[in-house]
A and B are shown apart, each in its own frame.
Chain A
């Protein structure tokens, strides 16, 4: 693939602008958050071109944004953020992606590294058995026609009402685990067919469960509010999304919207950016279906949370109360949300597309749970399985610059295919084990594809967001054990 030759104007050490004049048709400039070194690697592929292409979307406001974990996607870049006017702008399923509400959930424990170290293997085996994972896995929850509609309209609450977790879990889930406006009638029969047997499954690819240990605390009082008190404390991370249901919803609506783009006289440089006016029938139908898929994903993470708690109780022979495993937070990183922002002195209702980007609301924001009102919304940024993960909090600056958004992870630098050729699963597992990280993988080639070398260093990515003032680092944790889907 050719190197991207377009213009990147340095604004400061962490901000790079693609001028609006780069391509006729761009309605706003592009803005990429990155360090000097990162810019070189970002230029290696066509992701900046995608940032420029997104700037064509009717009604886009401010900038077509990209976080430092930016990499080449389809239509939108991964790490892309675009806010469009609800009144006369468009919504694009490509700005959300196939894995609608792919997201991350973090739980904290009262356990110390020393008491967990010897039991990681046993814990991974339990998790591997109790949380269905891998390609073609089926869930343990029986979900019929009526239940699937309930899941789609109720989200995580559906799971909690069936005994999977508690009301407190919902309090610290983005949107309380249920996005408004969900209409199961807007989700195709095919999508529901795909979703029913996969409820409560991890899936494959980059989805994982991770037992990790706190390595560094940057903001002790903020961390304490999240229930994270000391280095050596054990945490648990869940990364999954809406499975086949979300993929089908995306496919259904990309197909529909590709056909209506001409009718609405929308000029696009890439057909994968198919979109429709937010207020049109097609736009509203997509948003209602997307909300359903988002809710399915939250129910999914809620069920998995419950089974993970059962595994910990079994392995450690303590009560759940003793173990802890309370939720810190749950964030969506592939989603479109209706949010209100002040832009150039005017309050605007916007449709914020986050494609591989995390919402990062500051202290005092009305959508931040009361527990976190004073510190801001926890932002969960997992790295690859061989490095580390971060917890941060949102800032006012993100509200002003990035529509309350930051990065979502490390971002890939190497294709799965290349990663697979580079190493074997067993080599990766051995190398990780030598550094005290145990892994179980459901899919062949899964470890090689997800090896550290395939990713940017999440520390550099988070550092850019931190230095640019988009979020504040709170906690760094490193993995002890990973179940890969």
Chain B
């Protein structure tokens, strides 16, 4: 099963991520976001970070989580490349992210993602799950 698609949006960039379970779709959305930021082949799994995020509903939870990861990238310099969503309810997410501290000499960085936005935000169940997020880049 395909993890995600990049979708074009005039000034920005968006992703649609898929999963048989919603947890998997959330994890793939985070992975897709980091593929916009860096070439993940060069990134090792050295650091592990646990996260807990809360929000008013499932859609906002997705945005809050992605923005939490951007915050960690900015402040701690962690490029994440793998995610495990352990708990996911309508309003709360608990997850682990694996990656490496940014090393400009080794890592190939692409676009800066400023934020995950609520624009065209979607969480949908069909065969499996798909989620859509537009980023401000």
Contact = CB atoms under 8 A, between A and B. Distances in A.
Co-complex (A, B): yes
Interface of A: 45, 47, 71-75, 78, 97-99, 134-136, 190, 193-194, 197-198, 203-205, 244, 247-248, 250-251, 254-255, 258-259, 270-272, 274, 412-418, 442-446, 449, 485
A412 B12 CA distance: 10
Interface stretch (B2-10, B20-28, B44-52, B124-132): B2-10
A272 B109 contact: no
Given A251-B67, A415-B9, A194 B74 contact: yes
Interface size, B (range): 35 or more
Interface in B43-83: 55-56, 60, 64, 67, 70-71, 73-75, 77
Contacts of B67: 251
A133 to B, nearest CB: 10
A193 B75 contact: yes
10 contacts: A74-B136, A75-B117, A205-B114, A205-B137, A251-B67, A271-B121, A412-B10, A413-B10, A417-B13, A443-B109
Contacts of A197: 74-75
B114 A98 contact: yes
B9 to A, nearest CB: 6
B123 interface: no
Contact of A136 (B64, B77, B115, B117): B77
B105 interface: no
Contacts of B102: 136
B115 A250 contact: yes
B134 interface: yes
A203 B136 CA distance: 14
A193 B70 CA distance: 12
A316 to B, nearest CB: 29
Interface in B81-136: 102, 104, 108-112, 114-115, 117-121, 134, 136
Contacts of B60: 255, 258
